[in-house]
Amino acid sequence: MDWEKRFQDNSTPWERDGLHPAAQDWVTAGVLSAGRRVLIPGCGRSREVVHFARLGMQVTGFDLSYTAIHWQAGALDQAGLHAELVEGDGLAWTPAAPLDLIYEQTFLCAIPPGLRETYEACAHRWLKPGGRFLALFMQKDERGGPPYGCSLEAMHELFPADRWIWPEDEAFTPYPHPNLNGKPELGGILTRR
């Protein structure tokens, strides 16, 4: 997938017009709140970077795409806000201090499945103990869109129970995607042990 070209061509069907409803729910629940250090991996042009910065959070967004990072810088500038923006391979990045939160919105389904274990190891290393991984696991079987589905079965293998506390009762909320034939992302919070 040539992500930079997708942004240059505006061929970005995974984008939502506004804030993801899960982000809104996690703000309402007080999970996303002022002062917390949050990473948005593969932030693209998602609105959450500006929104979380406006909440008073310490936001980092990384992305491979120059165009996406440049867009985020412009949006922050326009809003008079600040966030750390990193252009490049996020899996080679290290935070300056442990994170409270990772807001995972269609990054895991964008990286090749062969890199998933590396991402899990990074997420575990980046978060402080008790830190939270706000998951939106894209449910799809076929390739395309954000390319790779994240079935809950595969996610249980990737985020094992001896490293992550899963939500009680497997309580995940489906958020149908408006531009991807209503394919749902399953929203739920894993806690790093």
Which residues form the interface with ligand SAM (CB under 6 A)? 3, 14-15, 42-44, 46, 62-65, 68, 89-91, 105-107, 110-111, 146
Minimum Å gap between C-beta 116 and ligand SAM is 12
In the complex with ligand SAM, which residue's Cβ is closer, 15 or 25?
Answer: 15
In the complex with ligand SAM, which residue's Cβ is closer, 42 or 131?
Answer: 42
Minimum Å gap between C-beta 98 and ligand SAM is 20
Minimum Å gap between C-beta 63 and ligand SAM is 4
In the complex with ligand SAM, which residue's Cβ is closer, 89 or 170?
Answer: 89
Please check whether residue 117 is in contact with residue 158, taking contact to mean a CB–CB distance below 8 angstroms.
yes
Q: How many helices (H) and strands (E) does the chain have?
A: 6, 8
Minimum Å gap between C-beta 130 and ligand SAM is 24
In the complex with ligand SAM, which residue's Cβ is closer, 58 or 106?
Answer: 106
Minimum Å gap between C-beta 32 and ligand SAM is 15
In the complex with ligand SAM, which residue's Cβ is closer, 34 or 91?
Answer: 91
